[in-house]
Chain A
Amino acid sequence: MSLQAGLEPGESLEFEYAVQCVAPELVDSLEVSVMWYTEGKGGEDIGVHLFQRIGREDLTELALDQPRRLSCDLPASPLSFEGRLLKIRWCVRLRLFLRDGRELSADKPFYLGHLTTDL
């Protein structure tokens, strides 16, 4: 995957992805999401801003190793945040569901907003 690293709320997030080194006949479906998740001492929470699922039928239209482009407008919140107990992180996640039941996933993080911790 490739995309811009630091983004602001309201900006357009553009990215493209391609799947290589996986035989297309092994893939059952593919999910792409733009999401945030929390990390830290507490339980993990997630929020999905953009979600796209490509089923087996749609996968044949374009070869998996050919780049597919997506874009979306980023929301105002939640902003990326690096606290002590809690961190809020944004990423683009690609998840492959294989026919033998296995799942492969890859994340590409990005930073939404620019924050200081001082008032």
Chain B
Amino acid sequence: MSGWWVVGSVSEAVFYGLLFLLGIVSLTTVVTWRVFWPASSILEIGFGFWLMVIASSSFVVIGLTAFLFQVSHVMASPELRSAMVDRAKRDHLRRSKGQTETAGSSLPDATILKDSPGVRLAYRLAPNQGDTAKLAVSAAFAVAWNAMLSVLIVICVQNHLVGNHEVFLTVLLVPFAVVSYLATRWFFRLFRRHIGVGPTTLEISDLPLLPGNQYALYLCQYGRVTFKQLKVSLACYEETTYQQGTDVRTERHEMTRKVVLGPEQFVVEPEKPLELDCQFTLPIDMMHSFQSSHNAIVWKVVVEGDAPRWRTFCRSFPIVVHPRPVPARDVANLN
């Protein structure tokens, strides 16, 4: 990448997206021309035909792969991607050994959180999937819809060229094009926001957390943005699931929140990501994490930022708080 950070990344995504669409259009043209007008002398099956098919297919594959790579590059930092690969390998190893999660406990399992070792501190926390999932969904939808629209446009143009004026298809292209424009705009807005406010990595000194203990946090914020305000908080939520007739609803309530860092003004540069360290101590008497079929108490580290050029962003990282252990004694003396 060279030049301006955001424009560079967006331009690359646009380039690979267009390459993908070009491949779709040319492949569709070649195939449909042969299928619907076999008697035509244009694009006869032979060396030229197959060369066109191979070239178009390569554009599709290269364009799509590079586009998705570009998107995933924005969604996760290199360290996180590496950790995800390592975690997948460890999950596979664990499953092959037949190790299963403990059942019947009301404490959430911290094993999954501990699967990702940190660089500076013991563990790297995984963010909630909300933000990245939106980008992934918008990318997938925009790619699929534009591909479909390209195919339809090619077929429509070919029909017009041979004098077969399909009015219905032509009219149908209008709303499809509108949806394509909106989907593409939605995707690039999210993409631009992710680039401007890059990935956030958070590491913690120990898991699970215990009341009364002190812990260290390491925050690394990528991107190119000036934060008017950036703060890190520890928040606790009650979550309940209940039936409303045939609906199943989940309700959440923020019980308590404590700011452990900030709010302060920071500047993040692409060559120099923001790195912050902080420490916090948990009170002795606080509620631990809890998980049952219908109810949960969930603890999270929440990173919130307010930047002039970008909308307020909020990223949360689930953690697990266990109760303080009790000394082991004889269990259940019965008379």
**A/B touching: CB–CB < 8 A:** yes
User: Which residues of A come within 8 Å of B, CB atoms?
Assistant: 9-10, 12, 36, 38, 40-45, 47, 50, 52, 68-73, 75-79, 81, 83-86, 88, 113-119
**In this assembly, does B240 line the interface, its C-beta being within 8 Å of a C-beta of chain A?**
yes
Task: Please provide the 7 A-B residue pairs with the shortest distance between their CB atoms, ordered closest to farther.
Answer: A42-B240, A10-B326, A43-B294, A45-B292, A119-B258, A77-B323, A76-B323
In whole angstroms, what is the CA distance A12 to B100 when docked?
A: 32
B234 and A119 contact, CB distance less than 8 A: yes
Whether the Cβ atoms of B238 and A85 lie closer than 8 Å is yes
State the majority secondary structure of interface residues on A.
loop
Of B8-16, B199-207, B248-256, B304-312, the stretch lying at the interface with chain A is B248-256
**Residue B295 is within 8 A (CB to CB) of chain A in the complex:** yes
A79 to chain B, nearest CB (A): 6
Q: Which of A68, A70, A76, A116 contacts B286 (CB 8 A)?
A: A116
Q: How many residues of B contact A (CB 8 A)?
A: 42
Among B107, B253, B323, B334, the residue within 8 A (CB) of A9 is: B323
B129 to chain A, nearest CB (A): 23
Selected from B238, B287, B326, B335, the residue in CB contact (under 8 A) with A68 is B335
- Does A116 contact B106, Cβ atoms closer than 8 Å? no
Q: Is B262 interfacial (CB 8 A cutoff)?
A: no
CA separation between A116 and B283, bound complex, in Å? Answer: 9
Which of B236, B241, B282, B287 neighbours the largest number of chain A CB atoms within 10 Å of its CB? Answer: B287
Which residues of chain A come closer than 8 Å to B292, judged between CB atoms? 38, 45, 47
Known contacts A43-B241, A69-B335, A72-B333; decide if A83 and B323 are in contact (CB<8 Å).
no
* Contacts A10-B327, A85-B251; A77 near B288 (Cβ below 8 A): yes
